[in-house]
Structure 1
């Protein structure tokens, strides 16, 4: 199975739901099943595709799979602690939906990870089970073939939707006059810079904010943006411009091309199609065929030292720089 699938066993944050109608489960868990189709319930080893909205019990949204336009894929993991999210999911089958409140105290008592800055009684998950492929007695090859057939079908659907997502962004930002390059990169310079453009092998010092075409912020190097967008703030994050080597395949193609169009002081918006981003595989934060919107500022340009020793190993290719999410 694709290693980039999101595993529910790693989920450590939750979503707050309704106040009434909850039943008591094991380990302090509360659950409210909104829709039940009466099908077989999830079992360990089954493949599940689901949508999940993540919130604190104070109604602060932390994550929402609907933003990416595609569900989460995962093998159904083993229950780690009575009353954990996997326990709640085992009450559901294909087509079912529920709000599941997981007791933070219970998780902590059993040694499960909880965000250290989390303040609240529950981690609460609002989930909709979109698809289940039961493992049952299927041999591994047959099971994996069925899973990949489903995933590839979902990818094809995402690919077909990508142009409409980009067009919707342009329609919502008619004040920005984008230029489209031969590769498909769209960019607009909102504040001109001065001096020579970035050249291959230069290090661009940049501030950036990554958004989906819906406007949702995924990452930023600027604390003011993180606070404005109500992102959770990591005190270990310096929130400062980052250095990026351009033209050596160390970042996504859209950055390698785009920054060579800019000079020092430039502020710009780049709309990067998936062919110049994370492609048909996506990333930990991105579904396949996801177009990216970058608001960037080129703070400075550093030229390579011709006398400097060559690095022993290159940076990991095709990876955007990441920042931990931001808290007031």
Structure 2
């Protein structure tokens, strides 16, 4: 009986960890203050999915990005306090589940070639309780991404 209770307790702990239930940090964009240099105004943005906000800064043209498409982008990633985490130019990849964080993938869907978009990602669609290199646990993320090419020849 004791082993069964221990197993049940362990299962609860594992499930809680998997659900990102640790509440030690801000998890939603509405929980943080954005550095003015990022020009994030959630009221001017569109919430597209559970705390994921997008704003088109420059309109694009042509087909709309879908999950599974091959894309080439320029991007910059910041924390809400304005700390630069990463950036890249002419980065080619397949926009697929598991290839990038869900918030980035979902935030890019619908973009046209030449479009620049601001994407604000809640913790649950980013790196969650685990964090990542230079990204603390439960971090809200801010991306500025420009779609340079959609399904380019390989």
Report the TM-score when normalising by structure 1: 0.37
Structure 2, gaps ≥5 residues long: 1-16
Among candidates 127, 132, 146, match of residue 297 of structure 1? 146
Residue 258 of structure 1, CA deviation: 1.4
Among candidates 86, 91, 107, match of residue 258 of structure 1? 107
The residue number in structure 1 matching 2:31 is 164
Q: Secondary structure at the match of 1:197?
A: coil
Q: Is the 8 A contact 2:70 2:152 kept in 1?
A: yes
Matched, 1:193 2:42: no
Residue 217 of structure 1, CA deviation: 1.0
Residue deviations 1:66-102, cap 9 Å, x none? xxxxxxxxxxxxxxxxxxxxxxxxxxxxxxxxxxxxx
Hey, what's the Cα distance between the residues in 2 that align with 1:246 and 1:212? 22
Number of paired residues?
Answer: 132
Hey, what's the Cα distance between the residues in 1 that align with 2:28 and 2:52? 18
Residue 183 of structure 1, CA deviation: 2.8
Hey, what's the Cα distance between the residues in 2 that align with 1:175 and 1:164? 11
Higher relative contact order (CA 8 A, sep 6+): 2
Hey, what's the Cα distance between the residues in 2 that align with 1:274 and 1:184? 9
Hey, what's the Cα distance between the residues in 2 that align with 1:220 and 1:160? 23
Q: Aligned-pair RMSD on alpha carbons?
A: 2.7
Q: Is the 8 A contact 2:45 2:54 kept in 1?
A: yes
- After superposition, the Cα gap between the structure-2 partners of 1:216 and 1:160, relative to the gap in structure 1 and judged at 3 Å, is closer
Among candidates 117, 131, 137, match of residue 282 of structure 1? 131
